[in-house]
Structures are given as C-alpha cells and as structure tokens.
Amino acid sequence: MNVTRICLAFFCLAFVCGIAYADNRNDATVYTIEVNEKANDTPAWDNSDEDFDFANRGFIATDDPLVIQSAYPGIESWNTSQYLFEDDATCPDTINPLLYRQANLNNINGLYNVTDGVYQVRGYDVTSMTLIKGDTGWIVVDPMITVETAKAAMELVNKTLGDFPVKAVIYSHPHVDHYQGVKGVTTQEDVDAGKVEIIAPEHFMEHALSENVYAGNAMFRRATYQYGTQLPKDAKGNVDIGLGKSPAIGTISLIPPTMDITHTGQRQTIDGVDMEFHFTENTEAPVELDIWFPQKNALLVSEDCTATFHNLLTLRGAQVRDPLAWSNALKELLELYGDKAEVLLGSHHWPRYGNAKVREILENQRDMYKYVNDQTLNLMNKGYTMDEISNMIELPDSLKKFWYTYGFYGQVYMGVKATYQKYLGFYDADPINLKRLTPEEYAKEMTGYMGGSDATLAKLQSDYDAGKYELVASIAHYLVFDDPTNMAAREMEAAALEQLGYQSVSGTARNAYLMAAKDLRSPEKQQMAASGISEDIMSAMTMDQLLDFISVRVNGEKAADQNYQMNLILSDTGDKALVQVKNSVIVYFVDETSPTADVTVEMPRKTLEQLALDPSIAPADVSTTGDAALFDQFVGMLDVFDTSFNIVLP
C-alpha cells in the first residue's frame, strides 16, 4: 500500500465529511456578538495598517486563481478561493474580529522581493518559503508541507525571476511544514550527486522522527481538531489557523540532511551567499535555526519570532516548550544582530522592515515569553494551581499595543498551562488528583448526583440562554459520557462549544471547539484513513527507530506470558538484530544475533517498514528458521491503532 497516498486520502476525506454536517450549525448568540464586539477594545487598532503595508511590500507576482492540484486526480492541494468569504470588509458575527484581521493578512499571497537577492513565496501553503539568490542558483529555506505546493512556488519563482538550479535547501527545524515539500524543489538524485546540500540543525532527523512517528497516530488525530480539517471553510467553520490559512494537502517527502549546524556562530558560504547560524534549543522546536545574512543585513528568524503569540504546547500534542529559553534566544538575537538587521523575515507571516521595527518585535516577543514564564512561576510559588493561574495572567498593557503579541495561534492561557506543566507536571498537590476515576465512571456518578439527565438538561438550557457557555459545555460533557446516545445532551454541549469557537481569537482553539461540536452532532463516527507517515520518513528510520516504533504497538495483554528470542535479519541491507520478547515488552540488540534464538526471521527492509506502519497487512517475502509460529505470535501481539478514535465522546 502506498503510504503517501494514505496521507493524502486522510486529509481529503476529512474535508468532505465536514461539508456534510454544515447545516446543523447555529448563528452567533447575542452574548457571542457582545464578546466579539468587546474584542475590538484593544489598543492594537491604533496601528492597524502597518502589517498590511509589510505584507504587501515587494509584491512581484502570483497565480490567479491560486489553485494547486495534487498529484492525484480530483484532489486540490491548495485553493485560496475557498477563503473568498473573508474579503468582505465587515467581520461576520461568528468570527472574532481580531482573528478575522489576521485571516485577511494571511490571505495575501504571491512572490515577494524582501530585499536585495532575498525573496519569499507566501500564501501558497501554511509556511512561507524563502529563497536567496546566489552566484548561480537558489538557496531555499523551508520548502513547505507538500511537494505540490513547493513545486508550484518554485515554478512561480522560475517563470518570474529566471530558471536557476537549487544549490542548497535549509530545514530550519523538524516540524513537517518545514521539510515535507523538499522534493518539490530538488531531487534525491541531485543531493546524492553532490549538486545540492541539505542543511539542518543537529539532531534534526532524531526529532523529526520522534515527534511525528512514535506518537504519530495520536498527534494526527488531534491535529484534525487543531487544524479543523473536517470543517467547511466559511464564516461558521475554518477561517484561519493564525499562523497561516491551513496545512496544504498532498504528497509528502523527506531528504535527510547532508550538513549539520551544531552551534551559534557557525558560518557557511553556499554559492557566494554568506550565512551565520543561530542555533536554538527548546524554543518553538527542540532544535531550530535562525540565519543572519550579513551581505543582505537580513535576519531570518524561522519560527522563533512570528506575528502571533506562539504555542508553548501545541494542541496536537508535543513536548512542552520552554518560554525562558525562547525569551533568551530572542535576547541573544538582539545582542548579536539587533544593531545591524534592516529586515526581519520568518517561516510564517510577513517581514518587518527597518532596524527600529526589527528591534521592536524582538524586544517585545522576548519580554512576552519571559512575562508568561516569570508570572506563572510567581503564582505557582504562591500556591495557585494551573487552572487558577491560567485565568489570572494577561499580558501587560504595554505589550497589548502590538498585534504580534495576540494569541492568534497559541494563547497566553495555553502558554501558562504549558509552563506549569514544564515545572511541576500534571499534579497540583491535591491528592484527589493523584489518580482519578475514568471519565465514563465519573460522568455516570456526577449525572446521578446532579439529579439525572433530564433535570440537568433543563438547568443547562437556562444557563445556555444566559450565555454561560464554558459552564454548559463542562456539565453537558458529563451527560454525554454517561450516555453517548443522549443526542439532546450532545447538542447542548455542541451548541455551547460552538459559541466558544465563534468567540475565540486563536484559530486553532476555534477549530478545536467547532470540530468537537461537529463530532457531537454527528450520529455516526466518521472514519478516516491512516496516519500520514510518509515512505520517505519510514525509509529514513534506523533499525533502532523501526524497532522502537514496533515496540509502541505491543499489546501488553497479548504479549503476557510470551518469552522467546528472535533473530531478525534484513535480507537486502544486511541489518540484523536480536529481539527478545519477555515481560510484555520488546528488548532488542542491534547488530547482534544468537545461535540459540528460538526463531530466525529474514525479510526485506520494506517488509519491516510495513510491519511497523500497519501490522494488519500480512508481511510479504518472509522466511523463517526454527519455530515459525513464534513470528506469527509476534505479529499478532502488535496493535493496529484506530486513526479516528473518539475525543469528545467516550
């Protein structure tokens, strides 16, 4: 089965399902309209034109209409016409006006001349692709999320600025939207031939694989909520994610790096372009590169500095990020380049022009992340809990004057919770929270204590009519988990979550609320295809990583009482490992085999990759020596994960 095709089908099906339930949605209530009108009471409106000036500056060309077909018939990778409803100058009642402004900025698309020899293609994907002209060709930074969108961006560049070869590709960090389109701008053959360097931060492959594979099934499912992949693109659905419009749909790829950047101050010259790298850890990604171009007086800050308060813990799930390390990284950028940089550009959004504006955003975002870190710790040390602190901290008025401090992607309250988790973990010191009842069990008891579903629904309707949407959603949730067939309770929770979505400044929070409402209203569970782990990712995994991935699939109960050793040999690569199954875990020893192993199994590497990806597909081209039944037991104890597991339903 083609892994790339699986990923593509996943996103396509998600969008089609979203349209089917569009007619169940409510209008904004008077309370939501009031909240959204109040959102306009922000000092940032005093500076409403600057971002639009910066976003449009240097425009050269775009494709009109901007529709990018995927490699598969009938499926579009990208279509900006789906967001034409946002062209109306009047913000709909169902969209927070601050998010609406950000969505309009993210609609601006095309090829832009940032400064001498530096260009960006923006609005062709969620990620902006940066290109620096060298003596003979291009250096490409962050080649988007799909091959199709990266290829379309490169075609726009070539037909507009001239057809020059790509000499290097830089991955700023190991998030998928910064490398998966690489085969839209270059080829594995050119890299293997030494014609193209692939530059990335040290440990790029380790983090790209660990973040996107080991917990990949859970992340991809949760990402449907974060990105609203099943929502129609309209005023009651998906409008933006704050960081850009939405992830593109299409073919995903990976070419492993050929050059590692290991430390700040490391210099490299490619095709006549001088670069000095700023290496960061535990900021927006575990490892990340910012780049100083001294010949251009240009500072590329990747995703360490964007036009929004960023995620300290992304809603799809990941390792928590460090706001103090993030603040210190921006402080260091200021110290190194703050007196020299005349333009600042990143992997999302639009550039900042002029040294004063460069310093301004670096200083303010430095202080923004440090404020969240310091004030969370301040209140933690006074005994407040995570939920209490998340409702207590707002940025100071001095920072609220700037649009890029608003939470269009992450939010301050989310960042507070992430910071609390970083320092103290899940436990708030109240023993009642050491080990909780299961959600279903607790819900049944709570429903009984509240007097039953019918009596509670009547109270919930009254609170809904009073605009108490967080309360209504929280209580209705118990009724739903007590009895998921109770469609009245599901509609009550959905209606409340929907209004919270309409009120949200954060595009991803809006999507999560509205996706939850959609799932609650859907009488049948919507099935989606597989996880979206590409063939290139699988082929890049080491033997250790493949066996770690297989280990995640071990069903502890099915593996109980199994005790044997298996020699595993890859017939085409010569890789081998001794695999021990005992105590319901797999322990392996790479580059070892044992003459006393209970079974020896030989297979091509692709078969092992397929086994790691989907154990339900019978392994092909396998030969065994010894007790062949043990290999069948081995495969039989591996779980196939449900890619559509419930989130707002039990």
- How many of the other CB atoms lie within 10 Å of CB of 486? 18
- Strand ranges of the sheet holding 298-300, from the earlier edge strand across to the other edge: 267-270, 273-281, 287-293, 298-300, 343-345, 352-353
Judgement on whether residues 545 and 509 belong to the same structural domain of the protein: no
Residue 389 lies in a domain: no
Judgement on whether residues 465 and 358 belong to the same structural domain of the protein: no
Structural domain that includes position 310: 3-365
Mean pLDDT computed over every residue of the chain: 94
Judgement on whether residues 460 and 591 belong to the same structural domain of the protein: no
Judgement on whether residues 52 and 154 belong to the same structural domain of the protein: yes
Judgement on whether residues 62 and 164 belong to the same structural domain of the protein: yes
Rg (CA), the chain: 26
- How many of the other CB atoms lie within 10 Å of CB of 135? 10
Residue 339 lies in a domain: yes
Q: How far apart are CA 594 and CA 571, in angstroms?
A: 17
Say what the pLDDT of residue 529 is: 57
End residue of a domain, out of 521, 552, 568: 521
Residue 477: give its domain's CATH number.
Answer: 1.25.40.880
Residue 52 lies in a domain: yes
Q: What is the pLDDT of residues 418-467, one digit of tens each?
A: 999 999 999 999 999 999 999 999 999 999 999 999 999 999 999 999 99
Judgement on whether residues 446 and 476 belong to the same structural domain of the protein: yes
For strands 118-122 and 110-115, give the pairing: antiparallel
Judgement on whether residues 504 and 574 belong to the same structural domain of the protein: no
Judgement on whether residues 484 and 565 belong to the same structural domain of the protein: no
Report the predicted TM-score, pTM, of the whole model to 2 decimal places: 0.94
End residue of a domain, out of 459, 493, 521: 521
Say what the pLDDT of residue 5 is: 32
End residue of a domain, out of 333, 365, 397: 365
Q: Which residues contact 57 (CB under 8 A, 6 or more apart)?
A: 112, 350, 351, 353
Residue 532 lies in a domain: no
Judgement on whether residues 226 and 303 belong to the same structural domain of the protein: yes
The structure tokens listed for 549 are 């991935």
Q: Cis before residue 615, ω within 30 degrees of 0?
A: no
Are the C-beta atoms of 71 and 82 separated by less than 8 Å? Answer: no
Judgement on whether residues 507 and 552 belong to the same structural domain of the protein: no
How many domains are contained in the chain?
Answer: 3
Residue 356: give its domain's CATH number.
Answer: 3.60.15.30
Say what the pLDDT of residue 6 is: 32
Complete DSSP assignment for 587-649: EEEET---TT-SEEEEE-HHHHHHHHH-TTSPPPS-EEEE-HHHHHHHHHTBPPP-TT--SS-
Judgement on whether residues 552 and 513 belong to the same structural domain of the protein: no
The dihedral over CA atoms of 501, 505, 508, 511, expressed in degrees to the nearest 10, equals: 20
Residue 233 lies in a domain: yes
Residue 372 lies in a domain: no
* Packing angle, helices 323-337 and 355-380, rounded to 10: 150
Judgement on whether residues 547 and 491 belong to the same structural domain of the protein: no
Residue 131 lies in a domain: yes
Say what the pLDDT of residue 528 is: 65
Residue 555: give its domain's CATH number.
Answer: 3.30.1050.10
Residue 533 lies in a domain: no
Q: How far apart are CA 261 and CA 570, in angstroms?
A: 32
Average pLDDT per consecutive 10 residues, the chain (650 residues; last block may be shorter): 33 39 85 96 90 98 96 92 93 98 98 98 98 98 98 98 98 96 98 98 92 86 93 97 95 96 98 98 97 98 98 92 98 98 98 98 98 98 97 97 97 97 94 94 95 96 98 98 97 98 98 97 75 81 94 96 97 97 97 97 96 92 97 96 94
Say what the pLDDT of residue 213 is: 85
